Amino acid sequence: MAYTTDTRATGFGQRIAEFRASLADRIARQKIYRSTYNELQSLTDRDLADLGISRSAIKGIAIEAAQAR
């Protein structure tokens, strides 16, 4: 007589949990990106120059901020 163990339910539940965690992480990173980008965009050219940032570097800085999370 052969016995089997059904582990699909546990594996499926784990995949859903991983998907939800991944989705939450992506949402959090997007929120950090948007807030960083918007804050830097709202600064004047003079303020950006004082910080040593050019307008063309804002997107890259926002991406770095989101990835550092």
End-to-end CA distance of the chain: 53
pLDDT at res. 8 = 56
Distance, CA of 66 to CA of 29 (rounded, Å): 5
pLDDT at res. 11 = 83
Tokens for 20, please give them: 């939800």
**Sequence ranges of the domains in the chain:** 26-69
Dump pLDDT digits (tens) for 18-45: 999 999 999 999 999 999 999 999 999 9
4: which DSSP letter?
-
Percentage of the chain beyond pLDDT 90 is 80
pLDDT at res. 10 = 65
**Residue 44 is which amino acid?**
T
CB 63 within 8 A of CB 29: no
| pTM, 2 dp | 0.77
